[in-house]
Homo-oligomer: A and B are copies of this chain.
């Protein structure tokens, strides 16, 4: 993409709208713009990151055997009356009346919808186990939206729902998601800790939140040092259930809890092996048995001919929130430092002298050649000062920067800078091409 043809509304100065680094940087780097309180538009650069994150989430859901579907944003109130949650949900639910005065709502989650859909889709034990997922916009009418996309009102969530015949199978579905989530966050460069959590309004008796440590986080977490960032563990294959069960049993033996779920006697025992930190919740998984299948009448024929209400679980990843969480975890004074897997473009080319013909010719050629090779490149071909271009490129945080200018053209070497380490190298044109396409 040529920057001269793009829409990248950078801000030179901090915005009074934002109190934390990720929010500030998302505004300054032109990733999002607020449309109403807690409601954001994703500008072109921001959407590329959102799509990358959603892509990784989808790949790991698919790998774990979950099947993608798509539920609507607007749900009928009837379904929530069936489950008994319509009255219980409170003012965070955005309630709507249509032109016929029927009660609708903008879904904050979709247990009711998926359960109602499975009533006519699942008939027998042969139709189980299944896990379905969907990536869709949700709405929670937060009383005080803040921190940008981290606590917005309209947000993109991956929500998955598992249906199993019995408790043992439900536990395996849960464990598969536990592992899929750890792999998902690791691929984005995040160290996420699954902590024992309060299931809250979703219900059930087993629940983990996935927390990324960050000083600005809203959650307090208490965990054994086995969950430190430098504690190493190998993730099992995504569908090897016995390896997964062993892994989850081992990992969950190490203490990790949210504020509400602390076990003070256990913490006292563990003493200085306990860590305390603040973090950002980036996922939440639940096993709630037959809460929805029973109340909403989802039953399938069992092997013995009787009818059984499936055991269910649900599994959420906050996709739009992750954009903020990744920035909280990876930025410096100059701007964002994107991990390669979620970077909006992999390479930025800076032509520091746009009106110098020889420089433009080299930069144009490099841009075309890398783009043709399938590398995502943002090419700053604007007629602007070199200093402004360097600052802009650092701010938006692409992993690699290539600098083209008259001196380089004369020398035959060009500077390649790694955004994360700051390391600079001088490479010939062919070495540059080989570095990215090799």
**Which of A259-297 touch B at CB < 8 Å?**
none
Which chain B residues lie closer than 8 Å to A127 at the CB level?
7
Interface string of A37-55 (1 = CB under 8 A from B): 1011111100100100000
Instruction: Kindly report which residue of chain B lies nearest to residue A127, judged by CB atoms.
Output: B7
Instruction: Kindly report which residue of chain B lies nearest to residue A382, judged by CB atoms.
Output: B126
> Chain B's nearest CB lies how many Å from the CB of A73?
6
Copies, count: 2
Contact A141 B99 (CB under 8 A): yes
- Interface: A143 (CB within 8 A): yes
For A67, give its contact among B7, B37, B141, B153 (CB under 8 Å).
B7
> Chain B's nearest CB lies how many Å from the CB of A128?
10
Contact A154 B44 (CB under 8 A): no
SS class, residues of chain A in contact with chain B: mixed
Q: Given A67-B44, A94-B96, A94-B98, does the pair A73, B137 have CB atoms closer than 8 Å?
A: yes
Q: How many residues does chain A have at the interface if contact means C-beta atoms less than 8 Å apart? A: 55
Interface residue ranges, A against B (CB under 8 Å): 4-7, 9, 30, 33, 35-37, 39-44, 47, 50, 65, 67-76, 79, 91-92, 94, 96, 98-99, 102, 104, 106, 113, 116-117, 120-122, 126-127, 130, 132, 137, 139, 141, 143, 153-154
Can you list 6 residue pairs at the A/B interface with Cβ under 8 Å?
Answer: A35-B72, A37-B102, A41-B70, A41-B71, A41-B117, A99-B143
User: Closest 8 interchain pairs by CB?
Assistant: A9-B121, A36-B76, A42-B70, A91-B99, A39-B72, A41-B71, A47-B70, A99-B141
